[in-house]
Amino acid sequence: MASRTLTTEAVVLRSIRFSEADCVLHLYTLEKGRVGAIAKGVRKTRSRFGARLEPLSHVELLLHEGRGDLHTVRGAELVRSHDPSRTDPYRLAAGHIGLEAVLRLFVEEEAQPQAFHALTRFLDLLDEVEAELPAQPALEPLVLSFQLKLLWLSGYLPHLAGCAACGEAKPLVAFSARAGGAVCRECAADALPVSEAGFLGIRALLEQPLAGAREAGLEEDALRQCLRVIEASYEEHGGFRLRTLAQTR
């Protein structure tokens, strides 16, 4: 089989030490979706890749497709470093939540340009975010909105228009990840209670562009309910919890 090279924009999701000098990178690429690659010599102080291949970096890569699972990085140009997010603890914590959500939800080598563009937009906006005290990265409206959009792009769109279990247009009082959305009082056994403000918040963060997430002006209680709905959806559909969310509590 002939080996090939590929040029693509990519975001570094995770970097793992592989040997004295090398790293294995988890990448989300525009052209192929999720890709793993080895960056040789990247950990040497005089690496030709410099610090370009760190998590959060938005890069243009020249990848060599070998015979194994991993591609090899042949060239890397920085598109955006996202240094303002990397050097601020609040933005960095929120950024890692977003990266881990992509890591867990988008595992296939399959181009999904909407997901890639949502990721780069999220990182661009994150560079400008100022933490409101007390700083709680897991409740940052931008990262909550990003995760709801990723769930939607993954096909786990929470159904919010009527009861997701019985289909009736009754008042909605809870969220059931198993039923796929909001449920009425009669169908709410084992479901997560959600207030009217909570549902308004979820709708706002889902329907607004990412840039409008912070302008929605949601109260902490509504943000907390959004987070619980997101975590319940991860557990029900993917069977996972985000490590980064557990860390920021």
> Rounded to the nearest whole angstrom, what is the least distance from the CB of residue 206 to Zn ion in the complex?
21
Q: Which is nearer to Zn ion, 187 or 194 (CB)?
A: 187
Cis amide bond preceding 158, omega within 30: no
> Rounded to the nearest whole angstrom, what is the least distance from the CB of residue 171 to Zn ion in the complex?
10
Q: Are strands 33-39 and 71-80 parallel, antiparallel or unpaired?
A: parallel
Ordered strands of the 172-176 beta sheet: 181-184, 172-176, 192-193
Q: Which is nearer to Zn ion, 50 or 167 (CB)?
A: 167
With contacts defined by CB under 5 A, how many residues of the chain interact with Zn ion?
5
> Rounded to the nearest whole angstrom, what is the least distance from the CB of residue 18 to Zn ion in the complex?
51
Question: How many Cβ atoms are within 10 Å of 113's Cβ, its own excluded?
Answer: 10
> Rounded to the nearest whole angstrom, what is the least distance from the CB of residue 143 to Zn ion in the complex?
31
| Distance separating the N- and C-terminal Cα atoms of the chain | 49
Per-residue binding letters, 147-186, with Zn ion (x by CB under 5 A): ----------------x-xx-----------------x--
Per the CB < 8 A criterion, the answer to whether 60 and 8 are in contact is: yes
Q: Which is nearer to Zn ion, 14 or 170 (CB)?
A: 170
Question: How many Cβ atoms are within 10 Å of 127's Cβ, its own excluded?
Answer: 17
Taking CB under 5 A as the criterion, the residue among 12, 97, 187, 204 binding Zn ion is 187
- Write out the residues near Zn ion by the rule CB under 5 A: 163, 165-166, 184, 187
